[in-house]
Amino acid sequence: MDVLIFIVSGTLAAATALLFAAMGELVAEKSGMLNLGIEGMMATGAAMGFVALSVSGSHSVGFLAAAVLGAVLSLIYAMLTLVFRANQVASGLAIGILGLGLSSAIGKNYEGKTVTGLEELDLGPLSDIPLLGPMFFQQDVMVYLSIVLIFATWYLLNRTKLGLIIRAIGESPESAHALGLKVRLIRAGCVAFGGAMAGIGGAYMSTAYTPLWAEGMIAGRGWIVVALTVFGTWIVKRVAFGAYLFGSISLLELSIQAFGVNVPSQLMSAMPYIVTIVMLAVISRNPVFIRLNSPASLGATLKLN
């Protein structure tokens, strides 16, 4: 039972950073913007969130600072692609590299330092329920906010006028522009939202999940986020499932050790990335399935005057 509790509760926490970044990236990609700079934005958010928390003593300030810096980086990407019509893939990679370098500079004086992590919410009697309490009701506030974000993203994209506009722009920005929609402005807003969520996801890693700063602590999670949107075929519930799946896989090393199985730690550390490659390879075998939900203009250079 202890192992089960560890796996379930640990999965919820491990998936939280991925969920924030993935929901933001999903909204951006639904508008037709392929942002490959998520790794750098998460790294910058991790550094900025840690420094802001260390200086202010407030987790809220840390998450806000991370969100703002992530949004700023993403708006630079939006300017390159929407105003100067630069290639989305190249621009995203450049911003990602910029973010990694910026995170190193921001966190240079804080390397190896720690902060106080987020406290678990007191949910009263719910926390005392046998088995279910320790698994689901002894988490910090960001874990629950990530779950709320899943439903909010689904509602936005599928039940609101704004969601319809975002999806229409993602399918055909030229047609949306002809109808009088502000394509550049809406795409920039979606990208800024994605960058802010990536920043918050990174800040969660450095201030809550592992409350310390170490360069390179994002360790490829930004690329997993990009892969999750493809793995989930741009559908909210599938992307969320993928985040929890990869969160559980990241706990495999400790879980297997709890059963006394001796497996090289290097193999276990590589498992999330191995699974990512395998799943993308499997999904890519059916291009029709991918095109069914993929925004038609995803990654294409904007051709509006």
Looking at the DSSP bridge assignments, the partners of residue 212 are 114
The pLDDT of residue 120 is 92
How far is residue 299's CA from residue 34's CA, in Å, rounded to a whole number?
5
Average of pLDDT values for 183-192? 98
> Which SS3 state, helix, strand or coil, does residue 305 take?
coil
pLDDT in tens, 234-250: 999 999 999 999 888 88
The pLDDT of residue 28 is 98
CB 51 within 8 A of CB 215: no
The pLDDT of residue 267 is 74
Quote the pTM value: 0.95
Q: How far is CA 267 from the centre of its chain?
A: 24
Average of pLDDT values for 52-66? 97
Residue 192's CB is within 10 A of a number of other CB atoms, namely 21
Q: Is 115 left (phi over 0), alpha (psi -120 to 50) or beta?
A: beta
The pLDDT of residue 24 is 98
Range in 3-7, 70-74, 104-108, 166-170 with the lowest mean pLDDT: 3-7
Does the pLDDT at position 203 exceed 90? yes
pLDDT band at 201 (very low <50, low <70, confident <90, very high): very high
Provide the sign of the torsion angle of the four alpha carbons 206, 75, 226, 25, taken in this order.
positive
φ, ψ dihedrals at 217, nearest 5°: -70, -20
Share of the chain above pLDDT 90, in %: 75
Contacts from 261-269 at CB under 8 Å and sequence distance 24+? none
The pLDDT of residue 215 is 92
Can you list the domains of the chain with their CATH numbers?
A: 2-293 (1.10.3470)
Mean of all residue pLDDT scores within the chain: 92
How far is residue 174's CA from residue 198's CA, in Å, rounded to a whole number?
28
pLDDT band at 154 (very low <50, low <70, confident <90, very high): very high
Does the pLDDT at position 253 exceed 80? no
φ, ψ dihedrals at 212, nearest 5°: -155, 165
How far is residue 165's CA from residue 303's CA, in Å, rounded to a whole number?
18
Residue 5's CB is within 10 A of a number of other CB atoms, namely 16
pLDDT in tens, 115-141: 999 999 989 899 989 989 999 999 999
Does the pLDDT at position 1 exceed 90? no
Which two structure tokens, joined as six digits, stand for 232?
A: 């989930």
Q: How far is CA 296 from the centre of its chain?
A: 22
For residues 255 and 132, which has the higher predicted lDDT (pLDDT)? 132
